[in-house]
Chain A
Amino acid sequence: MTKTLTHLERLEAEAIHIMREVVAEAEKPVMLYSVGKDSAVMLHLARKAFYPSPPPFPLLHVDTTWKFKEMYALREKAARDAGMELIVHQNPEAIARGINPFDHGSLHTDMWKTGGLKQALDKHGFDVAFGGARRDEEKSRAKERIFSFRTATHGWDPKNQRPELWNLYNARKAKSESIRVFPISNWTELDIWQYIHLENIEIVPLYFSAPRPTVTRDGMLLMIDDERFPLQDGEVPVKRSIRFRTLGCYPLTGAVESTASTLPEVIQEMLLTTTSERQGRAIDHDQAASMEKKKQEGYF
């Protein structure tokens, strides 16, 4: 009798297959862990892929020092629960220069995230890095391979990508070159939420609505997560019932007003919403092709 696999079962099986290929063929893999919901799903899939062994690679968090406090709390717990080593990297140059999202604009992302990531990969000699990017997030992602080749300087050449057929992935590369691997490329935002719901995966509470101190700035609803948030003239923090659809650096991440405090409610709101997920992120707004450009420079 035929047992038709559901789309989530097939996506899960595909992601597990991809992770095992990496572990079998890479010299020193690492999993980029951003503490967001996509990372949570990716980590959960890694535990499934290698059970009863723990995932045979460390987690790497490229920290900007500006993440939400609740993200830092879950980061430690998630690594411990999975039995994995957690490597935290903060760009020392960005620390020294006091780079922050309020004064330095896009330099903040360039140095902390893009620069920090390159430093961490070079420092530890990781040759393959798992990332939780999805093809439905953004147009340049839609064309990126699952095994995405990077030059020795971490550059991505969208015009010269390796053909990727069937489920055959080419993990061969010269020394100093590296590969970014996206096991959940084919998942959509809804798939992620549904899977979290079905598998009961722990995520940062910020995804659920609660009264939180906020200000409105440049059309974005920002949460004041700590005392480093400089209030502008006339700005008074207001308690609003908010939640986040994506999580990044708190001063750059827009919240949405919401009363959805359970997972089904969050999914319901997501399905009835009329704006796309990355809209809450300042990083994509510069220009239509901004993500493609960032990726060519080495951003995940």
Chain B
Amino acid sequence: MTASPDNAVIYKTADLIASDIDAYLDVHQHKSLLRFITCGSVDDGKSTLIGRLLYDSKMIFEDQLATLESDSKRMGTQGQDIDFALLVDGLAAEREQGITIDVAYRFFATEKRKFIVADCPGHEQYTRNMVTGASTADLAVILIDARKGVLVQTRRHSYLAKLLGIRNIVLAVNKMDLIDYDQAKYDAIVADYTEFAASIGISDFTPMPISGFKGDNITDTSANTPWYTGLPLMAHLETVALDNDADQSKPLRMAVQWVNRPNLDFRGFSGQIATGTVHPGDAIRVLPSGKTTTIKKIVTLDGELQEAVAGQSVTLCFDDEIDCSRGDVIAAADNPPEVADQFESTIVWMADDALVPGRSYWLKLGTQMVSATVQAPKYTVNVNSMEHMAAKTLELNAIGVAEISTDKPIVFAPYADNHALGGFILIDKISNATVAAGMLHFSLRRAQNVHWQATDIGRNAHAMLKNQKPKILWFTGLSGSGKSTIANEVEKALHLMNRHTFLLDGDNVRHGLNKDLGFTETDRIENIRRVGEVAKLMADAGLIVLTAFISPFRAERDMVRAMLPEGEFVEIFVDTPLEIAEARDVKGLYKKARAGQLKNFTGIDSPYEPPEHPDIRVNTVEMSPAEAAEYIVRQLMPLK
């Protein structure tokens, strides 16, 4: 191996450490930070390149080197040479397979900067990992094997880097040693890439011929490529412009994380400034309320600041006691961000379970957490060919453009303008897994033009007149479990008690309001959403609403629960085992389903997710419908 740490920068550092540690510490203290990703597939030499950067910046210790040498001999792919890739591939299972499957973070530093490298796997099945690494990167190093040129994965990596808004792209044409440092071949690759890059909107990138294995153009300009006039990789990384600096010239945006209230005399709003700068006396606006005030002081443990800039975590105090809490955004008074509840977005699906259009997910954007539903995608993007393809859902690693709506307005900015107010994650409400990441592009006009009209007679007034507390009694259970029969009995009992009620029955609603819907998962969700909205309007009108729907999915029942004030949604599980419901088969539907004449029938070829903690549970094997109804009414008392 021809190690070439004949690098002036590194020797200078080492000398300084030895001779004048205080001077070194002073230098180190003023370093800036660059985060970047390396993208490439197994054979492109990505791990080797990172290993080389660590090695050349003296980040590998003797004990690690000793382990590395023994590992290289045992399982390396470079013969007797040191296999830098082994240094980088972390988890045990991955080392055995010889591939990097998760995002790993590496650290090294030079005179000028500290670097955090997100090492991302390259295969298509790891698109989500690359997107994760790219989300925090200022720069992407896209590796190409000089022998192979621009490949499908090069396109994929470039598209993803562009999608996540990485402005600085380095095209590292690697393994130049294996094509004898041939300038013509290099130029052809660069020309090829330039054409492709333009087609996906990348107008500017930095190409360089390198060899991670031999060390060409890594820390020093290589004598093997005299025709190359650009900077070596390390020097480029040390001087490229930082996103954090650019963010400071944008208008002020700070999402409030936490209200700091140690005593009655102090109220501060803590957060990390996303863009812009802030000073005492600045006029600010709190979104979504739109209220304005001025900054009184910027508080830190190190004393009050006269200025704070994008990237800093601070606590701001206002001149007035205006309302402000977690999820709100503090913004420049004369240049506030938009507030909306419907958007067009690009979504990267990251979970094994596909997107269910219409289902309610948690959406986290900045410090805002709201319920959101995603429409069926307009199209998905083939990450290899960039073609748009029709799709009904998003599977693992799929990237699609879809409309998204939130249950209340959120403060946002287009992702292209502001990553902190445009990037979001979706969280499954049952498993709590992070299932997707997305980028908001713009709000949809109808969200901007449809406003909530305040009315003077509110839901309390309606309920008081009826002398009752509104409720939704949500009966759920298999077809044939007895939901409608029991709900009918309960309504009769409540009616006798002079309660104002209304029964929404599954079959009846499908004759009118929902007659356009079928029985696919998406249609079932929309069915329940509409019923939920109607039931909520009736509850707003002061009624006790009874609904009898199979409502097989937990997520949708929880969605309706979330629409209502605490305690108004009463989930009643009509618990009947499938065998019994099927044996009853009042409407003959199970027979049809078993015969294959009825598709997506709950319990047969479509799942039923029983409530985990129903408010009321009735067992129809042990109770008659009348007994079940009486039991339910007893549980509901008192009704005022």
Interface residues, chain A, CB within 8 Å of chain B?
A: 2-14, 16-17, 20-21, 23-24, 47-54, 135-136, 139-140, 142-143, 158-159, 161-168, 170, 172-174, 185-186, 188, 190-191, 194, 197-198, 264-265, 267-268, 271-276, 279, 288-289, 292-293
Question: Would you mind naming 30 contact pairs between A and B with Cβ atoms under 8 Å apart?
Answer: A2-B249, A6-B31, A9-B312, A12-B313, A13-B272, A13-B312, A17-B271, A17-B272, A24-B257, A48-B301, A51-B299, A53-B260, A54-B262, A143-B102, A143-B105, A163-B350, A163-B437, A164-B434, A166-B135, A166-B419, A167-B420, A170-B434, A186-B116, A188-B109, A190-B109, A194-B28, A271-B17, A275-B63, A289-B92, A293-B92
> Smallest distance from the beta carbon of A179 to chain B beta carbons, Å?
10
> Smallest distance from the beta carbon of A128 to chain B beta carbons, Å?
14
Task: Give complex CA distance A9, B107 in Å.
Answer: 16
**B29 lies within 8 A of A198 (CB):** yes
* Neighbour of A168 across the interface among B113, B315, B424, CB < 8 A: B424
Contacts of B103 in A (CB 8 A): 143
Contacts of B17 in A (CB 8 A): 268, 271-272
**A274 lies within 8 A of B312 (CB):** no
**A276 lies within 8 A of B63 (CB):** yes
Task: Give complex CA distance A23, B270 in Å.
Answer: 12
**A267 lies within 8 A of B21 (CB):** yes
Chain B residue nearest in CB terms to A17 = B272
* B149 contacts A by Cβ under 8 Å: no
Q: A13-B312, A289-B91 are in contact. List 13 more A-B contacts (CB 8 A).
A: A2-B309, A5-B311, A6-B31, A16-B272, A53-B260, A140-B90, A165-B136, A167-B420, A168-B366, A172-B427, A274-B62, A279-B61, A292-B91
* B162 contacts A by Cβ under 8 Å: no
**A8 lies within 8 A of B29 (CB):** yes
Interface residues, chain B, CB within 8 Å of chain A?
A: 14, 17-18, 21-22, 24-25, 28-33, 61-64, 67, 71, 90-93, 95, 102-107, 109, 113-114, 116, 128-129, 131-132, 135-136, 242, 244-245, 248-249, 257-258, 260-262, 266, 268, 270-272, 299-302, 307, 309, 311-313, 315, 326, 350, 362, 364-367, 419-420, 423-425, 427, 432-434, 437
> Smallest distance from the beta carbon of B220 to chain A beta carbons, Å?
22
Task: Give complex CA distance A166, B133 in Å.
Answer: 9
Chain A residue nearest in CB terms to B257 = A20
**A24 lies within 8 A of B61 (CB):** no
Contacts of A8 in B (CB 8 A): 29
Contacts of B299 in A (CB 8 A): 51-52
Contacts of B67 in A (CB 8 A): 288
Contacts of B272 in A (CB 8 A): 13, 16-17, 167
Contacts of B425 in A (CB 8 A): 163, 165, 168, 170
* Neighbour of A24 across the interface among B63, B107, B109, B367, CB < 8 A: B367
Contacts of B33 in A (CB 8 A): 5-7, 10-11
**A190 lies within 8 A of B437 (CB):** no
The 10 tightest CB contacts between A and B, nearest first, are: A289-B92, A7-B33, A16-B313, A274-B62, A268-B21, A165-B135, A276-B61, A53-B262, A139-B90, A7-B114
Task: Give complex CA distance A274, B62 in Å.
Answer: 5
Contacts of A162 in B (CB 8 A): 433-434
Chain A residue nearest in CB terms to B115 = A7
> Smallest distance from the beta carbon of A63 to chain B beta carbons, Å?
29
Task: Give complex CA distance A279, B423 in Å.
Answer: 40
**A197 lies within 8 A of B25 (CB):** yes
Contacts of B129 in A (CB 8 A): 163
Contacts of A194 in B (CB 8 A): 25, 28-29
> Smallest distance from the beta carbon of A192 to chain B beta carbons, Å?
12
Known: A13-B312, A172-B362. A142 touches B434 (CB 8 A): no
**B61 lies within 8 A of A273 (CB):** yes
**B313 lies within 8 A of A4 (CB):** no
Contacts of A158 in B (CB 8 A): 91, 102
Task: Give complex CA distance A50, B262 in Å.
Answer: 9
Contacts of B136 in A (CB 8 A): 165-167
Known: A8-B29, A53-B260, A190-B109. A143 touches B90 (CB 8 A): yes
> Smallest distance from the beta carbon of B494 to chain A beta carbons, Å?
34
**B91 lies within 8 A of A49 (CB):** no
**A13 lies within 8 A of B313 (CB):** yes
Contacts of B258 in A (CB 8 A): 20, 23-24
Known: A11-B33, A52-B266, A53-B260. A4 touches B423 (CB 8 A): no
**A2 lies within 8 A of B28 (CB):** no
> Smallest distance from the beta carbon of B263 to chain A beta carbons, Å?
9
Candidate in B32, B90, B420 with the most chain A CB atoms within 10 angstroms: B90
Known: A10-B244, A52-B260, A158-B102. A168 touches B29 (CB 8 A): no
Candidate in A51, A173, A264, A267 with the most chain B CB atoms within 10 angstroms: A51
Contacts of A161 in B (CB 8 A): 102
* Neighbour of B61 across the interface among A167, A174, A274, A289, CB < 8 A: A274
**A140 lies within 8 A of B91 (CB):** yes
* Neighbour of A5 across the interface among B62, B309, B364, CB < 8 A: B309
* Neighbour of B432 across the interface among A23, A24, A172, A279, CB < 8 A: A172
**B301 lies within 8 A of A4 (CB):** no
* Neighbour of B301 across the interface among A14, A51, A140, CB < 8 A: A51
> Smallest distance from the beta carbon of A196 to chain B beta carbons, Å?
11
Contacts of B131 in A (CB 8 A): 163, 165
Task: Give complex CA distance A104, B315 in Å.
Answer: 49
Task: Give complex CA distance A273, B64 in Å.
Answer: 13
Contacts of B25 in A (CB 8 A): 194, 197, 264, 267
Contacts of B311 in A (CB 8 A): 5, 9-10, 13
Task: Give complex CA distance A143, B302 in Å.
Answer: 33
Known: A158-B102, A276-B61. A163 touches B128 (CB 8 A): yes
> Smallest distance from the beta carbon of A256 to chain B beta carbons, Å?
13
**B313 lies within 8 A of A6 (CB):** no
Known: A2-B248, A143-B104. A17 touches B313 (CB 8 A): yes
**A165 lies within 8 A of B61 (CB):** no
Task: Give complex CA distance A198, B300 in Å.
Answer: 16
Candidate in A186, A197, A267, A271 with the most chain B CB atoms within 10 angstroms: A271
Task: Give complex CA distance A18, B337 in Å.
Answer: 24
Task: Give complex CA distance A256, B24 in Å.
Answer: 23
Contacts of B249 in A (CB 8 A): 2
Contacts of B18 in A (CB 8 A): 268, 272
**B260 lies within 8 A of A6 (CB):** no
Task: Give complex CA distance A4, B30 in Å.
Answer: 9
Known: A12-B313, A142-B90, A168-B423. A50 touches B21 (CB 8 A): no
Task: Give complex CA distance A272, B15 in Å.
Answer: 10
Contacts of A173 in B (CB 8 A): 432
Chain B residue nearest in CB terms to A287 = B92
**B300 lies within 8 A of A48 (CB):** yes
Contacts of B14 in A (CB 8 A): 272
Task: Give complex CA distance A10, B434 in Å.
Answer: 26
> Smallest distance from the beta carbon of A146 to chain B beta carbons, Å?
10
**B32 lies within 8 A of A6 (CB):** yes
**A275 lies within 8 A of B248 (CB):** no
> Smallest distance from the beta carbon of B484 to chain A beta carbons, Å?
33
> Smallest distance from the beta carbon of B440 to chain A beta carbons, Å?
13
Task: Give complex CA distance A181, B436 in Å.
Answer: 21
Task: Give complex CA distance A7, B425 in Å.
Answer: 27
Task: Give complex CA distance A190, B109 in Å.
Answer: 10
Task: Give complex CA distance A194, B114 in Å.
Answer: 13
> Smallest distance from the beta carbon of B370 to chain A beta carbons, Å?
13
Task: Give complex CA distance A16, B302 in Å.
Answer: 14
Task: Give complex CA distance A162, B136 in Å.
Answer: 16
Contacts of A188 in B (CB 8 A): 107, 109, 114
**A50 lies within 8 A of B260 (CB):** yes
* Neighbour of A264 across the interface among B21, B109, B245, B315, CB < 8 A: B21
Chain B residue nearest in CB terms to A21 = B257
Contacts of A163 in B (CB 8 A): 128-129, 131-132, 350, 425, 434, 437
Task: Give complex CA distance A52, B22 in Å.
Answer: 32
Contacts of B260 in A (CB 8 A): 50-53
> Smallest distance from the beta carbon of B255 to chain A beta carbons, Å?
10
